[in-house]
Structure 1
Amino acid sequence: MSEFEQVNVVREANIFFDGGVTSRTIRFADGSRKTLGIMQPGEYAFNTNSGELMEILSGDLDVQLPNTADWRTFKGGESFTVGAGERFGLRVRTVTDYCCSFLP
């Protein structure tokens, strides 16, 4: 889906790592939420509160999923999930556009 309809957008940006990762929160009528964001090249680590589906819209990055030593490459059109209460690493190689869906 390339467009979301009948949503509320939180005006203030989510800014992480001195602006290396930014996003905007979108809230849906059913209570679900997503963030749409951009990641600049760099290395980042995130902790999750809830499960997340990370859809890579464009770009190129390596991801270290929880409880693994391996890094996997993801590009535009690919996605990965991370469970609640987990930590994952990112090595962003090119500016990366993403959509994060928070899972119940």
Structure 2
Amino acid sequence: MISSNEYFDAKVKSLGYTSSIGNSTIGVMEEGEYEFGTTAHEKMNVIEGELIALLPGTTEWVSYKSGTFFEVDANTSFKVKSVGQTAYLCQYK
């Protein structure tokens, strides 16, 4: 089953699904700054564009461009700045 999600006044939209490797969402963020909470370990893959992330326990923003990823532990939160429209694949278990 595919689920549809919208966040931050529809500036972040994604489709959720389950595959053999676990749960995933694939989506697009409009340019802006967002804060997300996690309930499971997440791997955020940048498909197209750029996300600048402030990850838990860090004080420096780090750029992640197309073809790169970052990981976030469960039960934390992280901030991202989307540079223009950015497509992502978030995998979690």
Q: Output the TM-score relative to the length of structure 2.
A: 0.93
**RMSD of aligned Cα (Å):** 1.3
What residue in structure 1 maps to residue 6 of structure 2?
Answer: 15
Distance (Å, rounded) in 2 between the aligned partners of 1:75 and 1:31: 24
Q: Indicate if the aligned counterparts of 1:50 and 1:84 stay in contact, CA closer than 8 A.
A: yes
The list of structure 1 runs, each at least 4 consecutive aligned residues, that deviate by more than 3 angstroms after superposition, is: none
Deviations 1:5-41 (A, max 9, x none): xxx423xx2110001111011112x482100100000
Partner Cα separation in structure 2 for residue 78 and residue 32 of structure 1: 20
Between structures 1 and 2, the one with greater strand share: 2
- SS of 1:77's partner is coil
Equivalent pairs: percent with the same residue? 32
Bigger radius of gyration: 1
Q: Which runs of 5+ in 2 are unaligned?
A: none
Q: Secondary structure at the match of 2:42?
A: strand
Shift of 1:101: 0.3
Pair 1:50-2:43 in alignment: no
What is the TM-score with the length of structure 1 in the denominator?
A: 0.84
Question: Whose RCO is larger (CA < 8 A, sep 6+)?
Answer: 2
Structure 1 residues without counterparts, runs of 5 or longer? 1-7
How many residue pairs are counted as aligned between the two chains?
Answer: 93
Separation in structure 2 between the aligned mates of residue 82 and residue 21 of structure 1, nearest angstrom:
19
